[in-house]
Amino acid sequence: MLKIWLEITNQGHTLELKNDLYLRALLREPTERTPAWMMRQAGRYLPEYREIRAQAGDFMSLCKNPELACEVTLQPLRRYNLDAAILFSDILTIPDALGLGLYFSQGEGPHFERPITSLADIERLGIIDPNTDLQYVIKAVETIKTNLQGSVPLIGFSGSPWTLATYMVEGKSSKQFTKIKSLMYSQPSVLHKLLNKLADNVAVYLNAQIAAGAQAVMIFDTWGGVLAHREYLAFSLSYMEKVISKLTRQANGRRVPVTVFTKGGGLWLEHIAGSGADAVGVDWTVNLGEARSLVGDKVAIQGNVDPSILYGDRETIRNNVRLAVSDYALDYSQNEPAYNLGHVFNLGHGIHQDIPVEAPAIMLEALAEFTAKK
């Protein structure tokens, strides 16, 4: 197995990364089996998470406590055979640090006390210093990295500029995106000013996570899929490309892979593959084999079973895993299997909060069985 040696600066010695399957898969290097992690793998479906959440008092208090954030990051790795840990945080930390006043209402999701309502609001926005403005996130990355003890890689992340902008302009979650789409079509230059500032902030934020120890980063473009074709390219993808162009791509002697995930982005896979990212995430509406044929050998693919399969019985879960990896493995040009090259198995979006806790183990065991080299 390829060995990676990474410096843990606060311990003063070097640790071997024992499981590097995830990093190799993102870089389209051969792996002994298909690696896996789950979006929202640390969360409310775990009883131990609910205990820590109650201890913290509320969601943001949990996010802002590096020791507790570390604990909930590690919880799913104790239960399941996962190949990566992902920082426990929220995609809206940047706008909160920019002074918009993030808070969460019971049953209603995130809200901002001071949403963006004018050009003047945008012009007042600066560039964050993550080591001061988001010190709790950077400390969490350092704490998690130390406690992982080189077991698996740590993923850092941010929301995409477009996704952050939707919350900042709408002031909360939205179904119609009336305010930001109105701004986009009536004053596009104003929205571009906001997105440019957010792209600079996202790049600074992700680079700070990499400096603190994240070995891969992911850009969550949760709301890119609500855009029309031209608007997606102009208002979402172009700003993710700007972020990627500014990222640290080498750390501790190895490339730091970048994954872009646009929920509902199946129509733009070829465009995303040309963004400079190392991998593209796909949701459950995309056939993995067709995605692979579209992107070729440009990028790795992450995805993509429907999270709702985890409500099914053992055979239902196993069959959906088998179908997904079989779809990915079929090389339409060679008619040969390729299970172990360029695929990170994942759910097509976040794990649901009420799934049975034994279901992920069934899924991951099936994946290892179906993709392990014989």
Q: Which residues are annotated as a binding site for substrate?
A: 40-44, 90, 167, 222, 349
Q: What is the dihedral of CA 177, 137, 7, 364, to 10 degrees?
A: -60
Report the binding-site residues. Answer: 40-44, 90, 167, 222, 349
Report the alpha-carbon distance of residue 116 to residue 98 in Å, rounded: 11
Active site residue 90: yes
Report the alpha-carbon distance of residue 166 to residue 143 in Å, rounded: 31
Catalytic: which of 24, 28, 33, 53? 53
Active site residue 129: no
Report the alpha-carbon distance of residue 337 to residue 195 in Å, rounded: 42
Dmax of the chain from CA atoms?
62
Report the alpha-carbon distance of residue 307 to residue 283 in Å, rounded: 10
Q: Checking phi first, is residue 296 left (phi over 0); if not, alpha (psi -120 to 50) or beta?
A: left
User: Taking Cα atoms as reference points, which of 260, 343, 349 lies closest to residue 302?
Assistant: 343
Catalytic: which of 44, 249, 255, 322? 44
Catalytic: which of 49, 167, 239, 328? 167
Please spell the DSSP secondary structure of 192-242, one letter per residue.
HHHHHHHHHHHHHHHHHHHHHT-SEEEEEETTGGGS-HHHIIIIIIHHHHH
Catalytic: which of 40, 114, 255, 322? 40
Active site residue 53: yes
Residue pair 157/205 in contact by the 8 Å Cβ criterion: no
Enumerate long-range contacts of 187-196, CB under 8 Å, 24 or more apart.
187/119, 190/119, 190/122, 191/165, 191/235, 192/235, 193/119, 193/122, 193/123, 194/116, 194/122, 194/125, 194/165, 194/168, 194/169, 195/161, 195/162, 195/165, 195/235, 195/239, 196/239, 196/242
Question: Who contacts 184 (Cβ-Cβ below 8 Å, separation ≥6)?
Answer: 191, 231, 235
Quote the DSSP letter at residue 305.
B
Report the alpha-carbon distance of residue 370 to residue 34 in Å, rounded: 9
Catalytic: which of 90, 133, 200, 283? 90
Residues with a catalytic annotation lie at 40, 44, 53, 90, 167
